[in-house]
């Protein structure tokens, strides 16, 4: 959608009394530069508006887009457990940004969320069982960045020989 049209829609919403506006990328085509340009254009024109970003991870750009929005000062984001969701108007579009992947990213960057990541991962795994299919979230599969892996036996033996 052309930026001028987005601005007209936001202006109308603000005229009607909206105090918050959610910008949505429901087909997952946006990129961080585009997100930055849109927000840098709109935010000064509508001071006091609380901005939210709604992203889909169709092209693996949801979290980079959120990080770009954060750089602009946005602090509200839609997300869904396991990345559930989709867009009925865009065949092949994947779901929303995965909550646990986003929280994991923020925690890895030392950004406090107030969310217990381990419990969130447990919840995502439970939701997978309930819906009966694997969800697109990655952290529920791999675990958080703090997970440590055992050294394979052959490698451990070679390392011990070198050390001795």
Domain interval for residue 105 = 3-163
Cα–Cα distance measured from residue 110 to residue 26, given in angstroms and rounded to the nearest whole number: 28
The pLDDT assigned to 164 comes to 65
Cα–Cα distance measured from residue 7 to residue 13, given in angstroms and rounded to the nearest whole number: 10
More confident position, 77 or 90: 77
Computed over every residue of the chain, the mean pLDDT equals 93
pLDDT in tens, 29-70: 999 999 999 999 999 999 999 999 999 998 999 999 999 999
**Total structural domains within the chain:** 1
Cα–Cα distance measured from residue 10 to residue 126, given in angstroms and rounded to the nearest whole number: 38
Instruction: Give the CATH number of the domain where residue 87 resides.
Output: 3.20.20.70
Q: Which residue has the tokens 């970003």?
A: 53
Tell me: pLDDT of 163 over 80.
no
**Annotation marks residue 87 as catalytic:** yes
In 3D space, the residue among 21, 8, 81, 12 whose CA is nearest the CA of residue 53 turns out to be 21
The pLDDT assigned to 112 comes to 94
Tell me: pLDDT of 96 over 80.
yes
Edge-to-edge strands of the sheet including 50-55?
A: 20-25, 50-55, 76-78
Check if the beta carbon of residue 117 is closer than 8 Å to that of residue 98. no
The catalytically annotated residue of 72, 87, 98, 105 is 87
Burial class (CB in 10 A: 0-12, 13-18, 19+), 18: middle
């Amino acid at each position: 959608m052309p930026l001028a049209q987005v601005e007209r829609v936001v202006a109308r919403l603000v005229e009607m009394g909206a105090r918050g506006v959610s910008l949505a990328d429901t087909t997952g085509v946006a990129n961080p530069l585009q997100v930055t340009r849109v927000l840098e254009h709109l935010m000064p024109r509508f001071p006091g508006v609380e901005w939210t970003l709604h992203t889909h991870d169709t092209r693996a750009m949801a979290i980079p887009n959120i990080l770009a929005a954060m750089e602009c000062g946005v602090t509200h984001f839609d997300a869904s457990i396991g990345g559930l969701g989709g867009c009925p108007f865009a065949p092949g579009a994947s779901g929303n940004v995965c909550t646990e992947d986003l929280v994991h990213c923020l925690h890895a960057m030392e950004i406090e969320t107030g969310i217990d990541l381990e419990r969130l991962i447990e919840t995502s795994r439970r939701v997978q069982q309930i819906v009966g299919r694997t969800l697109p979230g990655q952290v529920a599969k791999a675990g958080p960045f703090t997970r440590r892996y055992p050294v394979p036996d052959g490698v451990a033996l070679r390392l011990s020989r070198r050390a001795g």
